[in-house]
Chain A
Amino acid sequence: MFREIQSYFTWIRHTPTALCISLILFCILPAYVFYVVVILPVRTCGCDFPPVDSVRMAVPASDPDTNPDSREQKKVIRSLELESAYLESMLSLSKQDSAYLSLNLADSLLVILIKGVPVRSCSLTEIRISRQLRCLDQAQRVRWIAEPFLAERELSTIPRIRYINKQAPKDTMEAALQSAAPMPPDTSSVYYTIYFNRYLVVEINQSEEPYDMKKKIINRYRREKQQVINRETWQAFLHRTSPEPRILIRLTLSQADARAIYRGTPVQTGLVLKLPSDTNVNSCRVSTPSGRRVPPWL
């Protein structure tokens, strides 16, 4: 058997025709797949985002700016634009009754709010932002965050609520036999991904190392996440369209905070996003000082 395989490879090395045909067939499908799922989305990156409203003043564009003061001033104006969009978005969610989230990437804070009141403020130990954000210009970024994001679906390693079913006892003796011990505190590892509308995906991971026994659940969660990506990519490939340009924001925070945020917000929660003014930073490791006082309007 080994000799036959060896003779085959010897033959193919000495048969340029067969080698060429094999190489062409080997490369043609992956090349097409590579173009559709990798190159095409990068080329069309940013095009799927909402077009910019014509809010510019009707004046000719200024000459290339060589004045450092006006360059600095333009930086300030850009950050004010982002701030203004974020606050408008926050204001619109403040009017609703259910809890929602505020993700402030500039100050590394993830906050739960109810009716405009921050009820829990969590420091983020690490933030990673997808490089897809590079494709958006300033105006598109402002437009993108100007309205709240709404959660569409999620994947998680923990349930939202742990219900306990209990049958009513028939008599006092049966009631005495039923366990009255409270449920032990939940120590399961917390990893979840929330898919919002307008291409935003927020992935939240606990900073603590998971216990060995819980890794099965985490692996299943990671497999399901990968299946979502694979399914979308395959569907895009089969329909010969570009996969959706998802912008992924990966956050790391403490287990207790991650759990409280997941269980403290409703299923279809809203989220307001504040981008840092310099979004060329594609990934950053952040540590915040403890005892940080959160300004009321965040």
Chain B
Amino acid sequence: MEKSITKTDLTGRFTSMQIFRYSISILLALFLSVIGSILLVRNATPLRDTIILLVPSSDRESLADSVPVDRLDSLQASLEQKVTIVQKELDSYIPRKPYLIVNTTDNTFRLMIYDLVIREGKCSTGSYTILTNGINQKWVFETPRGMMKVMSRQMFPVWVKPDWAFIEEGLPVPSPRHISRLEYGTLGDYKLELGDGYLIHGTLYKRFLGMAVTHGCIRLGDEDLKVVYRNLRRGSKVFIY
């Protein structure tokens, strides 16, 4: 009887419990396979890194491998010459005269000549404050990054206060030539202009050296400023990062 059962009679052979169990098995298998696939995707990178160890490393194809042994010397010589030429060209980028490097993250500076440090110390750079006055006026107090050059130098400078200096203190903004715009002694004994209104100057607030407190200028202590002023000339490079 059992041997003569055809396929069409198959469903008759299974009880509802068996059909239920088969369905559960299939669903469970599918569910676990999806979970397994997700885990594989999440861990694909470390698995690839492990399996790559089984792959033999690539043949080290190089110019050297396609050149007869008797021509290796000339190949080496030509490569060495090329490396020397490029190294010399890169070396020419480093200034031979004193230059300044300013770090706006740590608020430190280094006065350099070629690759030697003449002086290093703390400074103050931009505070990254955005001052907003109504809807039309906005100032961002940050020190610009990149390479700048000293445009001019001055001893015993006078600070000509810009508009934001009055707005920040809640004072009315005077006319451009008003005497209240002039402040003596605020910038210290020396000033080096970098262009676009940015300066390297001294400070009355020595306790803030090493912190980001300025309106974009670079402030140095008195002794540091003296050394920097004496070493940097017009056209000297200042690297800010």
Contact = CB atoms under 8 A, between A and B. Distances in A.
Interface of A: 8, 11-12, 18, 21-30, 33-34, 37-39, 41-42, 45-46, 52, 55-57, 59-62, 65, 67, 70, 73-74, 76-78, 80-81, 83-84, 87-88, 90-91, 94, 97-99, 112, 114-120, 130-132, 134-140, 142, 161-175, 182-183, 185, 226, 229-230, 233-234, 237, 243, 256, 259-260, 263-266, 280, 293-297
A70 B69 contact: yes
Contacts of A171: 170
Contact of A296 (B80, B83, B115, B168): B115
A22 B28 contact: yes
Contacts of A99: 145-146, 241
Contact of B40 (A34, A172, A229): A34
Contacts of B73: 73
Contact of B59 (A38, A137, A296): A137
B235 interface: no
A45 B55 contact: yes
A98 B208 CA distance: 28
B147 A77 contact: no
- How big is chain B's contact interface, by range? 35 or more
Contact of B79 (A39, A84, A116, A226): A84
A56 B61 CA distance: 10
Interface string B25-46: 1101110111011001110110
B81 to A, nearest CB: 10
A80 B85 CA distance: 13
Nearest to A172: B170
Contacts of B58: 46, 134-138, 140
A46 B57 CA distance: 11
A77 to B, nearest CB: 4
B164 to A, nearest CB: 8
Contacts of B9: none
Contacts of B1: none
Nearest to A167: B132
B52 interface: yes
Given A84-B86, A161-B142, A30 B37 contact: yes
Interface in B87-110: 87, 89-91, 93-95, 99, 101, 103-106
B239 interface: yes
Interface string B9-27: 0000000000001101110
Contacts of A167: 132-133
B130 interface: yes
B196 interface: no
Contact of B86 (A45, A87, A118): A87
